[in-house]
Structure 1
Amino acid sequence: MMSLGLRQAARRLRLAPAGLALGSGALLSLALAPWHMLIGLPVALAAAGWLVLQAASARAAALAGWLFGLGYFAFGLSWILEPFQIDPDRHAWMAPFALVFLAAGLALFWGAAFGLAARLSHGAARLVMLVALWSLAEFGRAYLLTGFPWAAFGQFWIDTPAASLLPWIGPQGLALLTLVAFLPLALLRKSPAAGILSPVLAAAIVLAVPAPDLAGPSEKTVRIVQPNAPQDQKWHPDHRWEFVRRALAFSSEDPRPDLIVWPETAVPQLLNYAEDTLQVITEGAGGVPVLLGIQREDGGAYYNSAVLLDADGLPAATYDKAHLVPFGEYVPFGDFMAQFGIHGFASQAGAGYAAGPGARLMELPIGSALPLICYEAVFPQDVNAAAARPDILVQITNDAWFGTRSGPYQHLVQARMRALEQGLPMIRAANTGVSAMIAPDGQLLDQLPLGQAGYIDAALPMPLPPTLYSRTGDWPVFLLCMFIAGGVFFFSRALAPRS
């Protein structure tokens, strides 16, 4: 009986770190929109640091990191269940599998970082190594396999003074600083001075960075239209033209702006056959140029596009979405998979969309713009990829796919970050979500809330001078993380006891 009790106690001790890892990861996810519960952030990251310090082996540390990531992504990305409810008879059964596999897959990056930190360093140096490797894992998550930087640490800080660092060091730099500030809290019990020093230094860095000085509004006015089409009705034959008529009515109102912006796939037909529809839109807009989302076909390939209509209702410029959503807008080996009835959720175009050539500027009546279609605003590297600096960022999106809970608000935070990183205003037109005029400092100047049909006439802000991040991108932070990881590795080897 005594030996049985001892075995049970040992088992509970082994399970305790697993529960701590899962629970701490879930707690950390509450720092994301729409909750922004930053009070749990130091607790969660201190727990992560403690788990690495206490890990008896690299394998145990890797498991702790994976469980921490599993808890974080499963709660933070729970909106991923929403697209499967659009057509529940066909897709609802897939929802839990999608969330579990996505969370488990993304958590592998964190598990690798935790495991390598334990393997390549020892003692308190594990925390320094973890700062570097966890940051590098986030680089991997943002760039590898088309990338998925959603729910990155920099997104915690959008409505705090720390966001003023984005024009200088970008989202990866802000994520690195987050880890520098809070992972050392794991040392508080053994070394209070070491545990407190990092948060104090991080706060000093934040306070030393001045907020950007805005230049004020221009003389241009933009009408941002939100028709508010539920996704289960958006393409339905009985409803789809209702939302076009709604958007047209909003566009016809006086006084006339300088530009009207409709959301992603606002016109439910191919551009190739939409000549009459585009003429009606232009006439309703009173000749004001309209930028709208529409699908088009070219050489047997289908594109998710943004098209600028001139005063005559003719396409004056076209941008094709380049960064597509895997399994949403395309399926790997799409033509083969289509034979089995497997298509991208968001694609109405056979086996899926084709990718456009990449970031391209579009000349609008209000200035030079970089169009971003929906998911593309998640990637700061895509914005930095433009050949020249635009005057404006324009995001057209259909956030109905993300549901009504956390997804649309997390998407909005990332759009605000892109504006702040570049020092550029952003025009954001959502089918439903939050349509807004975003200032170059990331603030919402005018907005339409989630679930409301309507329009806003917003004065276009002037751009700020080019930011440091717009010139350097993520390279300085990446190289710094590599330098830290290499330095700790060689330092640990030099101090390792020799047999």
Structure 2
Amino acid sequence: MAVKSGLAGKSDSWLVVVVAAVAGAALPLAFAPIDWVVLVFLAPAVLFYIAAVAPLRRALQAAFAFGLGQFGVGVSWVFVSINEYGGGGWLVAGLVTVGFVLLLALFPLLAVALGRWAGRARTLPTLLLTLPAAWVLVEWVRTWLFTGFPWLFLGYAALDTPLAGLAPLVGVLGTSFVVALLAGLIACSVRWPSWLSLGGVVVGCSIAVLIGVAADRPWSELAPPPAATANDSTATADDGLLRVALLQGNYPQDIKWQPAYREVIRRGYAQMTWAHLGADLIVWPETALPELYEQVAPNFLEPLAQRVRQAGGLLITGIPYREPGVADAPLYNSVAVFGDETSFYRKRHLVPYGEYVPFRDLFGRSLDFLGAPMADYRRGPVPEAIPATDALRLGVTICYEAAYPRAVARGAKGAHLLVNVSNDAWFGDSLAPHQHLQKARQRAAETRRWMLRATNTGISAVIDPYGRVVAVGPQFIATSVVADVELRSGQTPYVTYGDIPLLMVLAAVLGGVALLAHRRSGAGVDAAEEKR
């Protein structure tokens, strides 16, 4: 006869809602910069347990409370962004943040509703299969619904564990599924405490670790470096490594866009660039110059880029761009790569109310305190590798795009190196820059490429193909991050197949368990099973 835990006897009490809220608030502590990784297994286990044993109404309330805790802590930086740098003030910032958290809290509720429906109130399959599968399916939905908000996925917290080897195989969502399955096992051991259930947790963890270790392979290969010739713009060291220099100008957001500081910013980046002439790649951050490309290219950027090429390197910078000489040309948040020819990457995943205001015709200029400082940006084309030279192609992303696994994977196809430029000054000294860096690390591990991450105020870093930070600069200091990197070629399974295999597994789990539960319910065996 099963032994029920104390909480199971109070499953219809408001206590379970409070416990779920606390568990949700604890979950963000599993991610950077706190990195209490054990919480990524325990916090979902608490929710899964409550969701499986409580009446449906209370389970949904607990799931919503979990989401309030999870996102109330995990995305608290939204308040900082709007209050300190958006000009909205504390009241507007508070209202926007609360509304955003309330919206995001619906996702855990949706996951629990789906998991309970598929499990048909049968506790064991609900805990072990349907709740974990539903949770990860909802994480996938968050990558695209309403343009997407792929934040605080369970798999990110596993980056510094043996499960990190799963990244190039199944990506962050596949890793989330493994984490969620282990959380379900933990919940089962609480629901039915015994040596057998504890052994199941140990066996499950051991299998997950073994798979992670077995999958921890290079998955990519060293690419031939560009030839070091007098005419080549990417001359390399004798050992085949490229020397890179990431420039962190550290211009506070409250002065960055003021016209009076434009010359100061130009001069600052020029001086930092002179100090690193001879590096193979010199990378400036997102919108390093808060001016249109056409305004600064002829007399400043192009002569400077030419000087960098003469010294054997390439200059890469974030810059707002619109087609010169075209009436009413759209504005793009872009990266200019001054290679054999100047190439541009145009940001595709724009931040609503951060880089453009939806329904502009309806709201007019009333929400500009949330929008881009210059004007609404236009969405760019589907990401693909950007040619720098005949022998060097770059997978480029801007800021928040590093949070989109498939966007980075598409750009990584055919690319030798990943470049992410960002301006995390928007988030001040909050959790966001650390969470953002963690996502960039995951993208490097998924694609098995080196990642160069240049930011305005930090955290600038060079990341190796296993997601490890090999060089990093301190926040809120003007500095340069210098390192030697390799060019890589070849595609990981995740870059090749993406999330399609995982989605098929999730659909099979949810659909299969739901179908089986429906048939068993028709045979009248569910009630007997619940009494076991």
Give the structure-2-normalised TM-score. Answer: 0.85
* Aligned positions of 1:11-410 closer than 5 A: 14-57=13-56, 59-87=57-85, 90-120=88-118, 121=120, 122-127=122-127, 128-189=129-190, 190-192=192-194, 193-194=196-197, 196-197=199-200, 198-212=204-218, 218-253=240-275, 256-274=278-296, 275-279=298-302, 281-282=304-305, 285=308, 287=310, 288-298=313-323, 299-300=327-328, 301-309=330-338, 316-337=342-363, 339-343=364-368, 345=370, 347-350=372-375, 352-365=376-389, 367-386=392-411, 388-410=413-435
Gap change, CA 1:45 and 1:306, over 3 Å in 2: same
Gap change, CA 1:415 and 1:88, over 3 Å in 2: closer
1:345 Cα deviation after fit: 3.3
Q: Equivalent residue of 1:250, what SS?
A: helix
Gap change, CA 1:109 and 1:91, over 3 Å in 2: same
Cα deviations by residue, 1:54-85 (Å, 9 ceiling, x for unpaired): 2212x332222121111111111111122113
- Determine the C-alpha separation between the residues in 2 that align with 1:174 and 1:255: 41
**Which letter does structure 1 place at the counterpart of 2:197?**
A
Q: Which runs of 5+ in 1 are unaligned?
A: 1-9
- 2:449 pairs with 412, 424, 434, which one? 424
- Report the counterpart of residue 5 of structure 1 in structure 2: none
Q: Is the 8 A contact 2:165 2:213 kept in 1?
A: no
- 2:488 pairs with 418, 441, 463, which one? 463
- Determine the C-alpha separation between the residues in 2 that align with 1:479 and 1:398: 37
**Which letter does structure 2 place at the counterpart of 1:212?**
P
1:90 Cα deviation after fit: 3.4
Higher mean alpha-carbon deviation, 409-418 vs 244-253, is at: 244-253
Q: Equivalent residue of 2:305, what SS?
A: helix
Q: Which runs of 5+ in 2 are unaligned?
A: 1-8, 223-238, 525-532
1:32 Cα deviation after fit: 1.0
- Determine the C-alpha separation between the residues in 2 that align with 1:66 and 1:345: 27
Gap change, CA 1:17 and 1:357, over 3 Å in 2: same
Gap change, CA 1:255 and 1:296, over 3 Å in 2: closer
- Determine the C-alpha separation between the residues in 1 that align with 2:412 and 2:29: 37
Q: Equivalent residue of 2:30, what SS?
A: coil
1:187 Cα deviation after fit: 2.0
- Determine the C-alpha separation between the residues in 2 that align with 1:297 and 1:214: 36
- Determine the C-alpha separation between the residues in 2 that align with 1:294 and 1:387: 21
Gap change, CA 1:404 and 1:336, over 3 Å in 2: same
